[in-house]
Copies of this chain bind each other. A is one copy, B any other.
């Protein structure tokens, strides 16, 4: 397909497609003349991935470049893609050392043997520091509940990674980690609505006397 069709099929404007081509995020098409090239389905898929990383995962251009480099690098293993190779979500500054020690202590308590240099330790420490700075500290007991719930989730997720093909596995890991976060976030909010509603109903019911006492 030509540039105009590629833009139509992916929903990305022509000027943006050209920018991604110049930037190297999108591989060049097959030249068909001095000024034209042919693109295929792999280009459409790549553009959709770039847009999802930008619009859904909220990544900046340099972060998208990093994620795509991880996906494209044939030496990346699936475990790396799942774990350390992915950008932390938060800023690049090192975490507060005290928050980081707390994370290390929690991970030991959960008996998780995550690598000591995993970037995800730093991400968690940074996220906890932000809550501390807002006077909304997160108690250990709540973090234990989160760890238990996320362990169940991750167990199902890791089982679903395809094992037959390295390219598919790495893409699955990246999409599954970054783009499933909004799915989980939405389900969490729905669950919060459900539980708030149920508690409110429970409280109303408890406060209301039955109109008639039961007979007999």
Contacts and interface: CB of A to CB of B under 8 A. Distances in A.
Interface of A: 45, 48-49, 52, 55-56, 58, 78-79, 82-84, 86, 88-91, 107, 112-115, 118, 120-121, 123-124, 126-128, 130-131, 133-136, 138-139, 142-143, 145-158, 160, 171-172, 175-177, 179-200
A153 B48 contact: no
B146 A153 contact: yes
Given A82-B192, A89-B185, A181-B188, 5 more contacts: A55-B90, A90-B182, A123-B185, A124-B183, A154-B191
Contacts of A158: 192, 195-196, 199
Given A135-B45, A185-B89, A193 B79 contact: yes
Given A79-B197, A89-B182, A153-B149, A56 B189 contact: no
Copies of this chain, count: 2
Given A49-B134, A90-B55, A127-B56, A150 B188 contact: yes
Given A149-B152, A200-B79, A136 B191 contact: no
Contacts of A189: 82-83, 86, 120, 123, 177
